[in-house]
Copies of this chain bind each other. A is one copy, B any other.
Amino acid sequence: MTGYNRIALLTDFGVSSPYVGQIRLSLAESLPGIPVIDLISDLPAFRSDLAAYLLPALIRDMPRGTLYLAVVDPGVGGNRLAIALEADGNLFIGPDNGLLAMVFRHALSSSVQRIDWRPETMSPSFHGRDLFAPVAVAMTLGCPLDMTPMDFADLQGEVWPEDIPMVIYKDTFGNLITGLRAAILQSSDLVCVKGRRLHRVRTFNEVPVGTAFWYENAFGLVELAVNQGSAAHELGIQVGDEISLIPSLKFCPGVD
C-alpha cells in the first residue's frame, strides 16, 4: 500500500447510470477492503472548465490520503493525455483537460506525471472504467506503472484564472455554486445577477423563507441561494451563466 486509504469518485456520469457502478465493481475485485465513495457524480457534463473550480473546494475539508478518480472527459478516445497528480498528500487520476488545473494551482506541494501505461484492451469511450480505474488500483497497491514526469506548464488549464464569476454547479435544492472563492470578497460585496442584487448572509435561516442571498458555502465558494427555495428557479439562471460583483461602498452604508 502507498498510503492511499480510500478512493473517491468525481465524475459527470450521473447518479442514474451504470458507469459509476461498473467502476466500483471493477475496483471491488482488486481492492475489496478499500472504501470507495461517490463524492460527486453530477459534475457539469462535458465542462471540465467549470468542474475544475469545484474540485479544490470539494476536497478542501476532506481527509488526506485519498485517491481521487476524477472524470469529466469529453475528449475520451482522442489524443488528450492521462495524468496522475500528487497534491498535498492526495492523488488525483484523470484526463489532462483542465479538470485538475485548480487542484494543482492551489496545492502547496505537488507533482504530476503523464500516464503512459495502457491496458491490453480499452473501450474508446469509457476510460474511467478501462484506464483510470486500473491505474487507481495499481497506485493504491503500489504497483509500478509506466509514467513520465511532466512540467506543470505543459498541463491544460495552466493559464486559467484562479476564480471565475460564473455559476459552476446547481445542487438538488437549486442552490447555485459559483467559481468564486468567498475569501476574495468583502462581506459587504453584493452579487449581481440578471439585475438582481444579492446581499451576503451567514446561513439560510437568517432571511425570511423565499428570500435570495449569497453566502460562503461549506466548500468556501460564493453560493447563491434562497431560504427553503430554489435559487435556480427564482433567479432564472443556470450552470454556465455569468454573475458580477458590486464592491461594497464604504461610505454608503445604506446600500449594504
Contact = CB atoms under 8 A, between A and B. Distances in A.
A96 to B, nearest CB: 14
A6 B28 contact: yes
Copies in the complex: 3
A25 interface: yes
A35 B29 CA distance: 9
Interface in A23-39: 24-26, 28-29, 32, 35, 37-39
A45 to B, nearest CB: 6
A218 B32 contact: no
B8 A25 contact: yes
29 contacts: A5-B32, A13-B172, A14-B171, A15-B15, A15-B16, A15-B172, A16-B172, A17-B42, A18-B58, A19-B171, A21-B38, A22-B62, A22-B218, A24-B39, A25-B63, A26-B63, A28-B63, A29-B65, A32-B35, A45-B172, A45-B173, A74-B204, A74-B228, A76-B205, A77-B203, A77-B204, A78-B205, A123-B218, A126-B217
Contacts of A247: none
Contacts of A171: 14, 16-19
A58 B28 contact: no
A193 interface: no
B25 A203 contact: no
Contacts of A49: none
Contacts of A149: none
Enumerate the 4 nearest inter-chain pairs by beta-carbon distance, A residue then B residue, closest first: A14-B172, A77-B203, A126-B218, A29-B63
Contacts of A205: 74-78
A66 interface: yes
Query: What's the interface size class on A, roughly?
Result: 35 or more
A39 B18 contact: yes
Given A77-B205, A126-B218, A66 B15 contact: no
A233 interface: no
A244 interface: no
A41 interface: yes
A41 B65 CA distance: 27
Contacts of A19: 171
A203 B63 contact: no
